[in-house]
């Protein structure tokens, strides 16, 4: 039954990837260890050979999801591109593979500091990135970056919370329009 160290390391990676998806899709409470381990092709008894607790898994899974988002977003060299990539109907529908801040925002706020560490780091990086893409004096750049990020996460949250596809689409489109050109007065 013992697997090689190589295989064990791969198992850990698979658990993290599956957890990162399932937590975003179903929430921390909605995704059980049984299902996560099954998704990784293992039985649930082996979980504690890889992680100390579900909470530790949550922290690492959130970190992983946000790292992937960060890699994707850091490629963009204009706000328009970044916004257009974030506020798509596809992203709105595909919680499992999308932004963890939008998929778990309220849940993260209720978790331990351990889980909230990665979101903090991620937000700092996004602020710095977007601030560099905006014109204006530095303090205003940061303000615009923060407001834009809030707008993106909020728009996705609202579009998903709403029980009417047309309204959801309108929310995405309006936010795309407004946040693609932050603070036109400065341009």
- Binding interface with a copy of itself (CB under 8 A): 26-27, 29-30, 95, 101-110, 113, 116-117, 119-120, 123-124, 142-144, 146-147, 149-155, 157-158, 160-164, 167, 170-171, 174-175, 177-179, 183-185
User: Nearest-5° angle of CA 115, CA 141, CA 132?
Assistant: 75
* Spatial distance between the Cα atoms of 49 and 68, rounded to a whole number of angstroms: 25
The count of residues in the chain is 187
Residue placing its CB nearer to DNA in the complex, 5 or 90: 5
Q: Is 6 in the site for DNA (CB under 7 A)?
A: yes
Contact (CB, 8 A) for 111 and 58? yes
Contact (CB, 8 A) for 47 and 37? yes
Q: Is 126 in the site for DNA (CB under 7 A)?
A: no
Helix ranges restricted to H, the chain: 5-30, 33-39, 54-73, 79-86, 89-93, 100-109, 113-133, 138-161, 165-180
Provide, rounded to whole angstroms, the least separation between the CB of residue 26 and DNA.
9
* Spatial distance between the Cα atoms of 18 and 40, rounded to a whole number of angstroms: 6
Residue placing its CB nearer to a copy of itself in the complex, 132 or 167: 167
One residue of 21, 24, 54, 95 binding DNA per CB under 7 A: 54
* Spatial distance between the Cα atoms of 122 and 52, rounded to a whole number of angstroms: 24
104 binds, among a copy of itself, DNA, none (CB under 5 to 8 A by kind): a copy of itself
* Spatial distance between the Cα atoms of 177 and 67, rounded to a whole number of angstroms: 27
Residue placing its CB nearer to DNA in the complex, 35 or 178: 35
Residue placing its CB nearer to DNA in the complex, 42 or 92: 42
165 binds, among a copy of itself, DNA, none (CB under 5 to 8 A by kind): none
- Residues near DNA, by CB under 7 A: 1-8, 11, 31-35, 37, 42-50, 53-55
């Amino acid at each position: 039954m013992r697997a090689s160290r190589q295989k064990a390391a791969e198992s850990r990676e698979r658990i993290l990837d599956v957890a990162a998806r399932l937590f975003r899709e179903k929430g921390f409470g909605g995704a059980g260890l049984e299902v996560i381990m099954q998704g990784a092709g293992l039985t649930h008894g082996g979980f504690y050979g890889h992680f100390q607790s579900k909470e530790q898994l949550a922290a690492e899974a959130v970190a992983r999801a946000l790292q992937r988002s960060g890699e994707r977003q850091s490629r963009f060299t204009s706000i328009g591109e970044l916004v257009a990539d974030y506020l798509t109907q596809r992203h709105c529908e595909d919680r499992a593979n999308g932004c963890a801040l939008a998929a778990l925002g309220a849940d993260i706020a209720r978790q331990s500091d351990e889980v909230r560490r990665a979101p903090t780091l991620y937000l700092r990086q996004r602020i710095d990135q977007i601030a560099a893409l905006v014109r204006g004096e530095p303090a205003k750049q940061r303000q615009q970056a923060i407001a834009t990020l809030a707008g993106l996460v909020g728009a996705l949250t609202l579009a998903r919370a709403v029980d009417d596809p047309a309204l959801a689409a309108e929310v995405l489109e309006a936010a795309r329009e407004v946040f693609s050109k932050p603070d036109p007065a400065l341009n």
